[in-house]
Structure 1
């Protein structure tokens, strides 16, 4: 019956949906506000007006490509009134989520940094937004401090030291493609520690992205630093981290995503989640019960059909089949 064919699929879908709901998803933001380098005569009014205009325009401009850099200066005003805004959406975001992230970032950064800040940066797991005044643009463009290093998703053993070095090199090799404004990806296979639930070969997908206004050398330098940051995090305690490691910067984005065999992931989720365990047990009983009922129904139908066929094959006795005795 169709029910028994669908139940295993429903079982997998239910487990996947529950896992997605319980997965440790990163939900954070980091804001860094810097005071003005020099006081301004009008208390920053002209700069503030230019800044708010650019922050309002940035999501629409950046949405299609995931990056934009805008500037605005009032005619005849000092360079300190010139506002510069940059936005970078991480991981090849679609236009709509990118616009939404930058729009939210613009609201939060203006609320938290206020009129006093002439340079600021905002990061969350989806995008970066930064602004600066014209006289302070060079320091705002430098990626000397990363917004955050994030581990999220299912906990898996960290790669061994040899694999870490290979992943570092792979991440840095993506710089030429990332420098052209595209999302560069590559896959590698790494072993896991023995004796753990996710032991065995695992695939690691590496994704790299650089802001479109960075030169190739700057992109390579940013990704190199980002790969070293992740490697150091993996090596410090040598234990387990989230399945996804992401370095969120103002000029580049680097992501490592570890894939483990599906059955091992399911087994780990079941062990760690009592609610999921109960749900899986109930679904297994449901599947077994449906299989038994289906088998009984099939045998009943088959027996009924056999009886009908046997009855149809037996010839009826008529008058022609009776011999008259004389």
Structure 2
């Protein structure tokens, strides 16, 4: 299924409280019926096929975290974020499916729904034949303790880490790929990346890079970040988990990561100490001569 990227482009910056235990609806986007308006019987057939898809899709997606299905003229696509248990994925997609049936009538032909646990979108045959990429509806969430924001250099490093996960994030090789990196301040950053399994490697790479830059921009809006930050989308999912090691280990990492700077600082300190010793000796010599 292809939902128009231009039509569904939408960004939401939302703070999600950690440990709520529920999935709050973050972003919804629905579009008016096509012009000319379809007749009643066609709309009824679409609605019937859509309800059938929404009923079947959660079970299909639950075990892999993703499913793309078609029934008649209706297309539906669901993605569960991260590596959730099958029952969690099933509940999330089922809950979103119920919201769709409650919120929209037969005239709605395209829509995208996103919460902190999953994405679900649907479209008709006209949307699928447009040849556009899937929609770019997305959201950014922050949770956990507030920490100093990641600097520009670290943000670029995390973009590179996210891109390195692309080969394992496509074609269903793993539910979600992860890697760790060390920030300039010694913090550990775990990066988790996931792409919908119907995305080509190039699309996956572009989605994860865009998500990384989107996260970097959101960090730049404030003076602080959070220990867990995630970019949620219809095609990919990217999460950063920041943890601070013990002070001794943090100092060791900083020294190891900036060895040239450390050597220079050590040299300057050594020179300063030597100069101080010489000055103190010279200051003490006149006093000794006076006593004599």
TM over 0.5: yes
CA contact (8 A) 2:65 2:79 kept: yes
Alignment partner of 1:252 is 2:236 = yes
* Secondary structure class of the residue paired with 1:163: helix
- Cα deviation digits, residues 177-230 of structure 1 (max 9, x gap): 1112221100001134xxxxxxxx211110111111111111111111111100
Deviations 1:63-91 (A, max 9, x none): 11010011011xxxxxxxx0000000000
User: Per the alignment, do residues 233 and 208 of structure 1 end up closer, same or farther by CA in structure 2, a change over 3 Å counting?
Assistant: same
Separation in structure 2 between the aligned mates of residue 144 and residue 59 of structure 1, nearest angstrom: 20
Among 200, 208, 212, which residue is 2:193 paired with? 208
Note closer, same or farther for the CA distance 1:143–1:191 as it changes in structure 2 (3 Å cut): farther
Distance 2:96 2:132 in 1: 18
Report the equivalent of 1:180. Answer: 171
Give the TM-score, by structure 1 length.
Answer: 0.65
The Cα offsets for residues 38-60 of structure 1, whole Å up to 9 and x where unpaired, read as 31111610000000000000010
Task: Name the structure with the higher helix share.
Answer: 1
Higher relative contact order structure (alpha carbons within 8 Å, sequence separation ≥ 6): 2
For 2:202, what is the secondary structure of its paired residue? Answer: helix
Answer yes or no: is 1:240 the counterpart of 2:214: no
How many pairs does the alignment contain? 225
CA RMSD of aligned residues (A): 2.1
Moved over 4 A (4+): 22-27, 138-141
Partner SS for 2:122: strand
Name 2:71's counterpart in structure 1.
72
Distance 2:171 2:76 in 1: 21
Match of 1:90 in 2: 81
SS in 2 for 1:147: strand
CA distance in 1, matches of 2:161, 2:32: 39
For residues 35-46 of structure 1, the aligned pairs below 5 Å read 35-38=32-35, 39-42=37-40, 44-46=43-45
Return the alpha-carbon distance in structure 2 between the equivalents of residues 160 and 143 of structure 1. 32
Q: Does 1:52 align with 2:37?
A: no
Shift of 1:140: 9.5
Normalised by the length of structure 2, the TM-score is 0.72
Tell me by how many angstroms 1:147 deviates: 2.1
Task: Give 1:317's aligned residue.
Answer: none
Q: Assess, with a 3 A threshold, how the Cα gap between structure 1 residues 210 and 258 changes in structure 2: closer, same or farther.
A: same
In the TM superposition, what is the alpha-carbon distance from 1:61 to its structure 2 partner?
0.5
Distance in 2, Cα, partners of 1:191 & 1:110: 48
Corresponding residue of 2:262: none
Q: Distance in 2 between matches of 1:89 and 1:162?
A: 31
